[in-house]
């Protein structure tokens, strides 16, 4: 498995307002999964803020940030959408759309001023967002007798905290099914620790390795 970090994303929509020489820049960031979803959000923002002069956009989509697009929406070419997109690239994020709605304040900012304003608008809004990491995690599952479930679950809680793993909710049937998602490199350690805890009576089963969103700690 590659050790190259995956692009992160944001947990929820966020808005932030920046004012530069009486021009108001309202930035809306929202997580998306497709171009169609991004286009629908852009259309909704345009409708909501119909009185604004510009709705400049930038978006990045895909687990490897492979689909990217920007639009200056009437601002001088390269002064709005491109600097917005560059901020998203520099911050290594994906699956989100950025819309900066501008109400003109009567003072021309010039090309350099516009680049700084649109870039700062997106950067400051990202600072206000809750960022979630994208990581590869392998699911490890263990079926545990009910008599031992509490002890093993308490151990898994501590183990998950120590190893930045994600503990799923237990499932109870004939036995308790406990599942934890861990970094692939940590799977042998978890297996060895469970074996030591239970004297080898519980044999965990490795599942699929998937890309998982995890709050940045």
pLDDT by residue (tens digit) across 111-141? 999 999 999 999 999 999 999 988 889 999 9
Q: Write the Ramachandran bin of 106: left for phi over 0, alpha for psi from -120 to 50, otherwise beta.
A: left
pLDDT band at 194 (very low <50, low <70, confident <90, very high): very high
> Residue 5's pLDDT is what?
78
pLDDT tens-place string over residues 85-102:
999 999 999 999 999 999
> Residue 30's pLDDT is what?
97
| Tally of CB atoms within 10 A around 110 | 11
Look up residue 107 and give its two tokens. 């003072």
> Residue 187's pLDDT is what?
95
**Length reported for the chain:** 217
217 pLDDT exceeds 60?
Answer: no
What are the structural domains of the chain?
Answer: 9-129 (3.30.230.30), 133-215 (3.30.70.240)
Alpha helices, DSSP H, located in the chain: 35-48, 81-90, 110-128, 146-163, 187-198
- HSE on the CB side for 19, CA within 13 Å? 4
**Across 26-47, average pLDDT:** 96
Q: Write the Ramachandran bin of 47: left for phi over 0, alpha for psi from -120 to 50, otherwise beta.
A: alpha
Residue whose tokens read 């923002």: 45
- Distance between CA atoms of 46 and 197, rounded to whole angstroms? 58
- In whole angstroms, how far apart are CA 177 and each of 54, 167, 182? 54, 12, 16
Look up residue 76 and give its two tokens. 């001088």
pLDDT band at 72 (very low <50, low <70, confident <90, very high): very high
153 pLDDT exceeds 90?
Answer: yes
Residue 18 and residue 121 in contact, taking contact as beta carbons nearer than 8 Å? yes
Residue 129 and residue 135 in contact, taking contact as beta carbons nearer than 8 Å? no
pLDDT band at 1 (very low <50, low <70, confident <90, very high): very low
């Amino acid at each position: 498995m590659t050790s190259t970090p995956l692009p992160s994303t944001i947990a929820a929509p966020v808005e932030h307002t920046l004012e530069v020489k009486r021009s108001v820049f309202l930035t809306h960031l929202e997580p998306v999964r497709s171009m169609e979803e991004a286009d629908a959000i852009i259309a909704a923002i345009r409708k909501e803020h119909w009185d604004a002069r510009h709705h400049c956009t930038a978006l990045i989509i895909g687990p490897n940030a492979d689909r990217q697009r920007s639009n200056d929406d009437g601002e001088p070419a390269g002064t709005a959408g491109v600097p917005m997109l560059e901020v998203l690239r520099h911050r290594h994020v994906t699956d989100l759309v950025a819309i900066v709605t501008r109400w003109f304040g009567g003072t021309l900012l010039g090309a350099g001023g516009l680049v700084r304003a649109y870039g700062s608008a997106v950067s400051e809004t990202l600072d206000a967002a809750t960022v979630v990491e994208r990581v590869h995690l392998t699911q490890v599952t263990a079926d545990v007798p009910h008599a031992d479930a509490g002890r093993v679950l308490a151990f898994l809680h501590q183990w998950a905290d120590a190893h930045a793993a994600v503990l799923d909710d237990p499932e109870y049937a004939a036995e308790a099914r406990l599942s934890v998602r861990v970094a692939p490199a940590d799977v042998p350690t978890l297996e060895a620790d469970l074996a030591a805890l239970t004297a080898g009576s519980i044999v965990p089963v490795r599942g699929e390795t998937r890309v998982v969103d995890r709050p940045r700690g």
